Chains A and B, each alone.
Chain A
Amino acid sequence: MTTNKDLSLYFHIPFCVKKCEYCAFYSLPRAGEEIKALYFDAIKKQISFLPRERRIISVYFGGGTPPVLGVNRLCKLVESVVSGFRLSDNCEITVEVNPGTAGAEELKSLRAAGFNRISLGIQSADDAVLTRLGRIHDYAAAEKCVAYARAAGFDNLSADVMFALPGQTAEGFLISLEKIVSLGPDHISAYSLQLEEETPFYSKRDLLDFPDEDVEEAQYGSLCGYLKSNGYEHYEVSSFAKPGFKARHNSVYWDMGEYFGLGAAAHSFFNGKRFYSSPDVNAYIKKAQEGLFAPTNYEEAPVTGKDDMAEERLMLGLRTSAGATVPALKKDAAKRIARLGYGTFDGERLILNDKGFRVSNAIIATLI
Chain B
Amino acid sequence: MKNIDRIRNFSIIAHIDHGKSTLADRLLEYTGAVEKREVEEQMLDNMELERERGITIKARAVRFVYKADDGNEYILNLIDTPGHVDFGYEVSRSLSACEGAVLIVDATQGIQAQTLANAYMAVDHDLEILPVINKIDLASADPDMAKREIEDIIGIPASDAPCISAKLGIGIKDVLERIVKDIPAPKGDSGKPLEALIFDCFYDSYKGVIVYIRVINGALKVGDKVRMMHTGAEFEVVELGTLSTFSLDKKDSLEAGEVGYFTASIKNIADTDVGDTVTLCDRPCEKPLPGFKKSQPMVFAGIYPADGSKYGDLKDALDKLRLNDSSFTYEPETSVALGFGFRCGFLGLLHMEIIEERLEREFDLDLITTAPSVIYEIHKTNGEVVYIDNPTNYPDPATIETACEPYVSATVITPSEYVGTIMQLCTDRRGEFIDMKYIDTNRAELHYLLPLNEIVYDFFDSLKSKSKGYASLDYEFKDYRPSKLSKLDILLNGDIVDALSFIVHSDRAYARARKICEKLKDHIPRQLFEIPVQAAIGGKIIARETVKAMRKDVLAKCYGGDITRKKKLLEKQKEGKKRMRTLGTVEVPQEAFMAVLKYDDE
A residues sitting closer than 8 Å to B (CB atoms) are 10, 12, 25, 60, 62, 191-192, 194, 213, 216-217, 237-238, 252-254, 259, 261, 265-269, 274, 276, 301, 303, 311-312, 315-316, 319, 336-337, 340, 342, 357-366, 368
Contacts and interface: CB of A to CB of B under 8 A. Distances in A.
Contacts of B577: 365
Contacts of A336: 585
Contact of B557 (A216, A238, A267, A357): A238
A361 B570 contact: yes
14 contacts: A12-B560, A213-B552, A216-B552, A217-B552, A276-B564, A315-B563, A316-B558, A358-B553, A358-B554, A359-B528, A360-B554, A361-B554, A361-B555, A361-B573
Interface string B553-589: 1111111111110110110011001000000010000
A25 to B, nearest CB: 7
B558 A253 contact: yes
Contacts of A301: 564, 567
A213 B564 CA distance: 27
Contacts of A60: 560
Given A191-B556, A237-B556, A238-B556, 14 more contacts: A12-B560, A192-B554, A194-B557, A237-B554, A238-B557, A268-B561, A274-B564, A301-B564, A311-B570, A342-B528, A361-B554, A365-B570, A365-B573, A366-B528
Contacts of B555: 194, 361
B550 A276 contact: no
Contacts of B246: none
B529 interface: yes
A368 B570 contact: yes
A362 B551 contact: no
Given A312-B567, A362-B528, A269 B550 contact: no
B245 interface: no
A215 B577 CA distance: 29
Nearest to A355: B551
Contact of A359 (B552, B557, B559, B561): B552
A246 to B, nearest CB: 15
A267 B574 CA distance: 24
A276 B567 CA distance: 15
B554 A357 contact: yes
A267 B552 contact: no
A360 B556 CA distance: 10
- From B553, B563, B569, residue with most partner A Cβ within 10 Å: B563
Contacts of A261: 560-561
Interface in B434-481: none
A159 to B, nearest CB: 15
B326 interface: no
Interface in B527-554: 527-529, 550-554
A303 B567 contact: yes
A266 B557 CA distance: 15
Nearest to A250: B558
Nearest to A263: B560
Main SS class of interface, A: mixed
Ordered nearest first, which 4 A-B pairs have the shortest CB separation?
A191-B556, A365-B573, A361-B553, A362-B553
Contact of B570 (A238, A315, A359): A315
Contact of A267 (B528, B553, B561): B561
A267 B562 contact: yes
B549 to A, nearest CB: 8
Nearest to A362: B553
- From B558, B566, B569, B574, residue with most partner A Cβ within 10 Å: B558
- From B551, B561, B569, residue with most partner A Cβ within 10 Å: B561
B529 A340 contact: yes
Interface string B139-158: 00000000000000000000
B550 A359 contact: yes
A216 B554 CA distance: 13
B574 A368 contact: yes
A191 B529 contact: no
A331 to B, nearest CB: 15
Given A213-B552, A237-B554, A363-B528, A315 B564 contact: no
A329 to B, nearest CB: 14
Contacts of B562: 267, 276
A266 B560 contact: yes
Contacts of A342: 528
B570 A62 contact: no
Contacts of B527: 362
Interface in B111-145: none
B559 A62 contact: yes
Contacts of B561: 10, 252-253, 259, 261, 267-269
Nearest to A236: B558
A318 to B, nearest CB: 11
Contacts of A337: 528
Contacts of A191: 556-557
A194 B553 CA distance: 11
B556 to A, nearest CB: 4
Contacts of A316: 558, 563
B600 to A, nearest CB: 28
Interface string B398-423: 00000000000000000000000000
Contacts of A303: 567
Given A303-B567, A364-B570, A359 B553 contact: yes
Contacts of A358: 551-554
A358 B561 CA distance: 20
A360 B569 CA distance: 12
Contacts of A362: 527-528, 550, 553, 573
A265 B560 CA distance: 9
Contacts of B569: 361
Contacts of A312: 563, 567
Contacts of A192: 552, 554, 556
B434 to A, nearest CB: 53
Interface in B238-266: none
Contacts of A267: 560-564
A254 B563 CA distance: 10
Contacts of B550: 359, 362
